[in-house]
Amino acid sequence: MEKVFLLGGLRSHIGLTGGMFKTIPAEELAAAVLQKVIEKYPCALQADGLICGNAVGTGGNITRLAALKAGLPIHIPALMVDMQCASAAASIELAMTKIGSGMADVLIAGGFESTSMQPTRVYAKADPRYTEAGFTVAQFSPDTTSAKAMLEGAERTCQKYGFTREELDAFAVRSHQLAKKAREEKRLQDVVVSVFGSECDEGIRDRMSPKLASRMPKLFTAEEVAALCREQRTETESGGKSDSKSGAGSENGAGFPNEKSAVTPLLTAANACLTNDGAAFVILVSQKALEKYNLQPETELLAGFEWGVDPRYSPEGAIETGSGLLQRCGLQPEEIDVFEYNEAFAVISALFAGKHPDLAERYCPWGGALAYGHPYGASGAILLLHLWQELKQRNGRLGLLSIAGAGGLGTALLVKNSKL
């Protein structure tokens, strides 16, 4: 394969649902950031294509719409990728594959999302899932149409491994504190741009503390969690498998509380990320493009990997996929200088800490999605931008990003600081 380099990229500030971007359609938000990318990296106008993720937009090839609104040359093709939360990472992996195979020299990849403008859809009346009220959350697993499927999966995972609320909240507090510090030190100033008058990432809580986290509302009642646990115990006892194939420490999982145990809800507004709006794009280039445009990139993309896990425990996807990529590349976790995992839920951070207790300082060192937010279709590109800056500023050599997606999926990318 040809070498593939990250030339650079930009992201918007990350807004809360109903926040600073509440009236901005997803494609308009994407177009505004794309225009900034073109200004900073003029070779984007010579791109062989635009590949972007979007999860809850209006449908169709919304990437093409964004490209046209941004003023990209009309001949540049555009492709929309929907792998839900892993969409942007999958888009980058696809772009990397095209360049690596010699099919392209310059590609723009990333993603964008507006949960504020998320449409309500309606199934056809002949569909047994039809309701007059319609739906906003797609079906991710054959066994449920619940709009809370992702939250239920996170709660199940928390219960399965026997974490406590205090353990989970500690990761949320850590994330906000590190993100606040990174903001104060302007660690991300080279990759974050203001659009539509934005001034900051809206989700970072400067005053987050264990006490404040403990006051955050639970996302499920004890009865709802008991039902989830009962459902999974029944399946396990009847011969079903609740653990994924190469479980992220699943052999050490505490298992679900038994029928007589008191069940404590663990998922809260502190240890689960909020919903968000945002856009992020990167430019990938070949060696040929480096020479043609006299470019000096700082990061090389080495490998990508995708994996599937039980959709009822979708947070495990981030851990499984990251470990799978390391195994495929013949690397030990200790060889990675920075891990950027999408901590959509604190249980992902807790699983990582349990699997790699000696590498905690290398994990999301500037905070993660629990603080910044998680604009689904954009998050993989946000992770890559943060990873690039972290490796550069920490003088690290290898970085790994991994992100779980709805339906029990994950995408991971391995990058190298090409200056070392």
pLDDT in tens, 238-275: 555 444 433 344 444 456 666 556 789 999 999 999 99
Q: Is residue 229 in some structural domain? A: no
Instruction: Give me the phi and psi of 135, to 5 degrees please.
Output: -150, 155
Strand partners, 12: 193
What is the spatial distance between Cα 5 and Cα 11, in angstroms, rounded to a whole number? 18
Residue 334: inside a domain, yes or no? yes
Residue 38 pLDDT > 80: yes
Distance CA(158)–CA(313), nearest Å, equals 9
Overall domain count for the chain: 1
pLDDT per residue as tens digits for the range 63-107: 999 999 999 999 999 999 999 999 999 999 999 999 999 999 999
192: domain CATH number is: 3.40.47.10
Residue-wise pLDDT for 174-217, tens only, equals 999 999 999 999 999 999 999 999 999 999 999 999 999 999 99
Q: What is the mean pLDDT of residues 302-329?
A: 97
Residue 9 backbone zone (phi > 0: left; psi -120 to 50: alpha; other: beta):
left
Q: How far is CA 329 from the centre of its chain?
A: 22
Q: Note the pLDDT tens digit of each residue in 393-411.
A: 999 999 999 999 999 999 9
Question: pLDDT tens for residues 339-388?
Answer: 999 999 999 999 999 999 999 999 999 999 999 999 999 999 999 999 99
- The answer to whether position 57 is within a domain reads yes
| Residue 253 within any structural domain of the chain | no
In a domain, residue 8? The reply is yes
pLDDT at 236: 57
Nearest to 390 by CA among 94, 191, 232, 115: 191
| CA pair distance 266, 168, nearest whole angstrom | 8
Q: What is the pLDDT of residues 130-180, one digit of tens each?
A: 999 999 999 999 999 999 999 999 999 999 999 999 999 999 999 999 999
**Which range of residues forms the domain containing residue 324?**
4-119+171-207+271-417
pLDDT of 237: 54
| % of the chain residues with pLDDT over 70 | 93
Residue 128 located in a structural domain? no
The answer to whether residue 404 sits within a structural domain is: yes
Report if residue 345 sits inside a domain: yes
pLDDT at 243: 44
Distance CA 169, CA 289 (A): 46
